[in-house]
Structure 1
Amino acid sequence: MRNRALAAVLLGLLGMAGAARGETPPRRSAAELMDVLMWNREPVGGPFALTDQAGRPRTEADFRGRLLLVTFGYTACPDVCPTELMEIGRALTLLGPEADAVQPIFITLDPEHDTAALLAEYLPNFHPRLVGLTGSEAAIRRAADAYKVYYETSPRPEGGRAVEHSAFIYLMDRSGAYLGFFPPGTSAERMLTILRPHLAARPAPE
């Protein structure tokens, strides 16, 4: 424990020195970010300023009063993203009228490719109430960092970009506070067992 604490102090001092020189701190690995999520070591979620598939500016404040299912990915993702979106769509369908109290949000990790128009074409394949968000590279990075999302991009030989990314669905409460996450492969039925108690709870008075 003593050695671990010393290492943490040294890393902190190195980070401060880098910041003083104007250097960007190194990106954390997928394992480090997973550790943060698993043990709630840091806040998850927070402010964002992005653009939806209709071209409208959107912030986190626009979604207050509903439970949020927030996922990050990209439209050219070959398997994980479509599977996650399909299960989110199924969960909303199974909820029926109760689904009005849940807002699903898909934030692209490939804003260079995933324009508002492309999101508007892509997302209705999964559910009509999905809100897609895009923005500048910097704005997307800020949102991903807030949600402790790991992602790295690389060019594809045939053109375009591949995005290696973590694939969690984040559950946020009506005030935007983090409740937990669904790991990749979570079924719609499993989501419902977690969602229903939160739907039944009355919103706190404002």
Structure 2
Amino acid sequence: MAALANKSKALIAALMLSTGWHAGAAEQAQLDPQAVYQTSQAAIGTTPGDYVLRDRTGKPVRLSSYRGKPLLVSFVYTGCFQVCPSDTVLISKAVNATQDLLGTEAFHTVTIGFNAPFDSPEAMAAFSRQLGVTARNWEFLSPDLKTVAPLTRDFGFSYLATPKGFDHITQLSVLDRSGRIYRQLYGDSLNAQAIVAALRDIDHGVVSVPSGWSGVLVRVRLLCTVYDGGTGTYRANYGVIVGLLVGASILGSVAWMLVSEWRRQRKA
């Protein structure tokens, strides 16, 4: 119960941030935080419909085309000048840090504009370009007007038009390889540590790594790095590295002694 309460508080804080609410102005709220949280959580375990959206070049893209790898999904509207850009930059930092750790092919990311028809492919392209989003396997998509309502409903994403724009939840949905919503991340949880934890949980407690040499490199990075909450990135864990070097040195010394003894006995 305590964990659920903490999650609710985190969601409420995230919602207050996304709508521009401030302390002492709760009476201006147009969305009920508890209802928004329940709607978001109710989407977990469901599979969104196979909607057709358009990428930044206008090319049709089916949501199902991302299946086979985990998928991160966020929603924005390009007319937003504060929260949507800052949240996208935050997610970009987390995605970059996660890709540095796991590799660029470990998962996909999409950001969907929900203010149709204004969040057009051209508008989404400009939005991503202005924010400097360059991560591989990250696309910005535009639904048509009739798709917005069922699409956002499937993801448990709540929003409401206001005179100043939109009140909406700050949410990052994590989908598993089959396209099912596995976890919802909010507010302060929009970081690499939370993303890696979700990807690990999807694969039953371990992070799926590619085969071959690239998989070996990923395993080494997982073993020799630690999350730095101050920078939001993974850094070298020198304690582990020193321990591995000491262990390797001891094993090497023992092996050398055994080989030397074997050679001595052969000569004798």
TM-score normalized with structure 2 length: 0.56
Q: 2:51 aligns with which of 40, 48, 51?
A: 48
The answer on whether the counterparts of 1:50 and 1:57 sit within 8 Å (CA) in structure 2 is yes
Q: Give the corresponding residue for 2:110.
A: 105
Deviation of 1:44 (Å): 5.5
The 5-angstrom pairing of residues 37-116 of structure 1 reads 37-38=40-41, 43=46, 45-94=48-97, 95-96=99-100, 98-116=103-121
Counterparts of 2:78 and 2:198, CA distance in 1: 26
2:174 touches 2:182 (CA, 8 Å); kept in 1? yes
The aligned counterpart of 1:21 is none
Q: How many residues align?
A: 171
Measured after TM superposition, the shift of residue 202 of structure 1 is: 6.8
Equivalent residue of 1:107, what SS? strand
Q: Residues 72-116 of structure 1, C-alpha deviation per residue, up to 9 Å, x if partnerless?
A: 111222332222211221122222262322211111121222210
User: What is the 5 A alignment of 1:17-36?
Assistant: 31-36=34-39
Q: 1:118 aligns with which of 117, 123, 126?
A: 123
Select between 89-98 and 141-150 the one with higher mean Cα deviation: 89-98
Contact 1:51 1:133 (8 Å CA) reproduced? yes
Deviation at 1:40, TM superposition (A): 6.0
Relative to structure 1, the CA distance from residue 41 to residue 67 in structure 2 (aligned partners, 3 Å threshold; closer, same or farther) is: closer
Higher helix share: 2
Q: Distance in 1 between matches of 2:104 and 2:88?
A: 15
- Is the contact made by 1:85 and 1:126 (CA closer than 8 Å) also made in structure 2? no
Q: Amino acid of the residue matched to residue 148 of structure 2? A: I
Q: Report the CA distance shift for 1:171/1:42 in structure 2 as closer, same or farther (over 3 A).
A: closer
In the alignment, structure 1 residue 179 sits paired with structure 2 residue 182: yes
Q: State the SS of the aligned residue for 2:46.
A: coil
Question: How high is the TM-score relative to the length of structure 1?
Answer: 0.71
Q: Which has the higher mean CA deviation after the structures are superposed, 187-196 or 176-185?
A: 187-196
Q: Distance in 1 between matches of 2:168 and 2:149?
A: 12
Look up the equivalent residue of 1:189 and give its one-letter code: A
Tell me which amino acid in the other structure corresponds to 1:181. Answer: Q
**Partner of residue 162 from structure 2, selected from 151, 154, 172:** 154
Query: How far 1:66 sits from its partner (Å)?
Result: 1.8
Q: CA deviation at 1:37?
A: 3.3
Q: Aligned with 2:110: secondary structure? A: strand
CA distance in 2, matches of 1:63, 1:41: 18
Residue equivalent to 1:201? 208
Contact 1:67–1:102 (8 Å) recurs in 2 = yes
- Does the 8 Å CA contact 1:92/1:99 hold for their aligned counterparts? no
| Partner of residue 190, structure 1 | 193
1:163, 1:144 → 2: CA distance? Answer: 14
- Secondary structure at 2:103 match in 1: helix
The whole-number CA distance in structure 1 between the counterparts of 2:44 and 2:66 is 25
Q: Contact 1:46–1:147 (CA<8 Å) still a contact in 2?
A: no
Q: Deviations over 1:20-61 (max 9, x none)?
A: xxxxxxxx9653241143366773533222111110111111
My pick for the range that moved more, 32-41 or 183-192, is: 32-41
